[in-house]
Every structure is written in C-alpha cells, then in structure tokens.
Amino acid sequence: MAATLQTIADAVGVSRSTVSNAYSRPDQLSPDLRARILAAAERLGYPGPNPSARSLRRGKVDSIGVLLTANLSIAFRDPYAVSFLRGLAEAAERRRNSLLLIPMPRHDIEGSLEAVRNAAVDAFCVYCVPNWTGALELIAARGLPVVSGDDPELLRDELPQVDGMLGFVGIDDRAAARKLAAHVAGFGHRRVAIVAHWATDDDVTGPVDLTPEDLRYSVSGERTRGYRDAFAAAGVPWSDILLINAIENDRAAGRDASAHALDRLDRSTAIMTTSDVLALGVLDALKDRGLEPGRDVSVTGFDDIPEAELAGLTTIRQPSYERGRISGELLLNPPEDPQARRRVLPTTLVVRKTTGPAPVS
C-alpha cells in the first residue's frame, strides 16, 4: 500500500495536519520535528502531497494557458512567435508561473477545444488563433482572465460575450500595413501579389478569389485591408491584386506560393506578404530564378525578425518580446480599468533593399 500523510503521522506519532504542515507550512514546526517527518516520509516512500490537489485547495495553479494557431513544431519555426513566447515566459517566471502550450491545428479543433476546457490554468494568452474556433467563447464561459492579439474592438459585434473581459496587447495591423503598401505603391507598382496563409477550405497553394472580409484570421484580414486601403488610394483596384494562398506560415510555403506570381507572362513586379517568414521564402524563389529583389521584383514582409535585417527585407517592425512580456504582466496582475487592459504597441516602417521602382516593361 502506498504511503499517505496518515501513514507518516502514525510512524512519527503526530497528527495528519502536522505532517501536512511539514510540506506546506514549515514555519509552524520546529526544525527537529520537520526533519523527523521528512526522514520518515523518505523511509516509507512517500513522494509528497499531490500538487494538483494542493493547487485546487488554494484556487490557483500558477500556470498560464497559451493557445497557438498551429502545431507546436510550426510555431517554433517562426522567430516572431519564439520571441513572443520568451517575453511571456519571462513575465511568468518572475511570478513563479509556468506556461501550458495548447496548439489548435485546424484539423482537430474539437480536440483542441477539449484541451482548453480541461486545462488546469489560471488565465489564457491567445496567440493568433482565429475567432471562429470557439476558443474565446469557451474561455469566457470559464470566467478566466484572457489576453489576445486580436483587438476586442474588432470582435465586439461578432463575439459580444467576450466584450469587457478580453485584454489586448498588439498593434494596429491595418494602419501598419497601409504604410507598407503606400511605400510600394509610391514606387509605381501596379502588378502586385499578396502571399498569405489564408486558411482556405481546400488548403492548397495557389491563387484564391477572396476579399479581406473572407479571411479566417483576424490579423491577416486587418493587414490585407491595410494593403487594400493603400492601393485603392493609389488608384489600383482590388480586382487587379493577385492573392496567393500559402499552405502554412513558413519559409518553404512562401517559396512555393510565390511561384504563382513569378512564373506568369505578366509577372508581378511586387510581392507583399503578411509575415517575414513568408517573405524570406519569396526571396528564395527569386534567387532560384536569377531575379534581383528590389530591382526585378520588390518584396515586403511583416514583423522584422532578425533574419529580415540580414536579408535586407523591407518590412514592418513590431515589438515581439515586449508584446509577450506585457501580455504576461496583464494576465498576472490585471488592472481594474478595462481600458488599461488594452495596449496598442508602436510599429515602424523599415525600408531596406528589397523594394524599389517598378521595372519598366
């Protein structure tokens, strides 16, 4: 029979609560008595109190659930996501909290929701998870604090049940994307392609017939709306923009997707993406074809990960580490004022060598 608190209490000749205090409230016992209890526990093979039960008794488990948009292996290939998680983890560690990573791949949403439902956590951080999954409603039903990268002001009509309880740490994606596209349009580009992970139902690489309102990820939708705003202002109709789906948000997918813009008789003179990792894949595709970025085809990314600077990529810089750190601080010490739970962080247009004038055809 496995040793219990009572087994130890009988062996030492003390009460069960005294044995419990040896683990949870050692200041209540003399050093000699505590040493005798721990020695008896070790001799009898008692591993210590059940941590889950102890957490339930005090109503806290010291853990933050982190919802990720895809498989963990994909998330850890994205330098921006890794930097965000580092900031979040460091904020958690300062308060002796841990992170529980919960991936939400599209092929198993029901299984992911079950994990959200049963997760032993005190709060949730939602990283780039589309609102159609039902995760936010489920978290709201649990009554736990939550911080998301999706602006609640954009979700108010669609998800009224999360209004007032959803914290936000992020950027104005639409305004940032508008600056980036205005820069490209200012160089005279009119044959433009946008490569993004659109999360289409058929999930294949290639051109798609969509509007920004059709997009299943809030962040991608806002960035694409920003691109549309800028090109409309420059007199480029949306129907002239080539939209290309990448099956994942990674470099290889960006390389494959950009072929549909480069291997055409009317080759796109500019390819914009919704992330740096996709843009790096576009640069790979240009290299394969002997094309020069910024001269033959302009390319833009979004995020400004370290590899973007090395590649000379024009992009939007946003603070990844700070975004994770602030998200953790808001979850672990939430302010009473709902407005204080909304943090819009700054962005910067970073112009490098991958953008230039549209080539004369």
Distances (CA, A) of 137 to 163, 166, 242, 336, 353: 10, 10, 34, 21, 44
Lowest mean pLDDT among 158-162, 188-192, 244-248, 312-316: 158-162
- The DSSP string of 51-83 is HHHHHHHHT---EEEEEESS-HHHHTT-HHHHH
The sign one gets for the Cα dihedral 117, 73, 306, 313 is negative
Helix (H) or strand (E) run with residue 344 in it:
strand 342-344
By three-state DSSP, how is residue 248 classified? coil
Residue 347 to residue 361: CA distance in whole angstroms = 34
State the Cα angle at 224 between 304 and 171, rounded to 5°: 50
Amino acid at 85: L
Query: Which of these, 221, 298, 227, lies nearest to 258 by C-alpha position?
Result: 298
**How many residues make up the chain in this entry?**
361
Q: How confident is the model at residue 184 (pLDDT cuts 50, 70, 90)?
A: very high
Q: What is the pLDDT of residues 214-264, one digit of tens each?
A: 766 778 888 999 999 999 999 999 999 999 999 888 999 999 999 999 999
Residue 6 to residue 255: CA distance in whole angstroms = 64
Q: How confident is the model at residue 120 (pLDDT cuts 50, 70, 90)?
A: confident
Residue 307 to residue 165: CA distance in whole angstroms = 36
Question: Domains along the chain?
Answer: 1-37 (1.10.260.40), 63-170+321-344 (3.40.50.2300), 173-319 (3.40.50.2300)
80 token code pair: 């921006």
Per the CB < 8 A criterion, the answer to whether 251 and 301 are in contact is no
| pLDDT at site 56 | 47
Distances (CA, A) of 158 to 56, 113, 148, 149, 309: 34, 19, 15, 16, 38
111 token code pair: 């299984």
Q: How confident is the model at residue 52 (pLDDT cuts 50, 70, 90)?
A: very low
> pTM of the predicted model, to two decimals?
0.80
- Burial class from Cβ neighbours inside 10 Å (0-12, 13-18, 19+) for residue 240 reads exposed
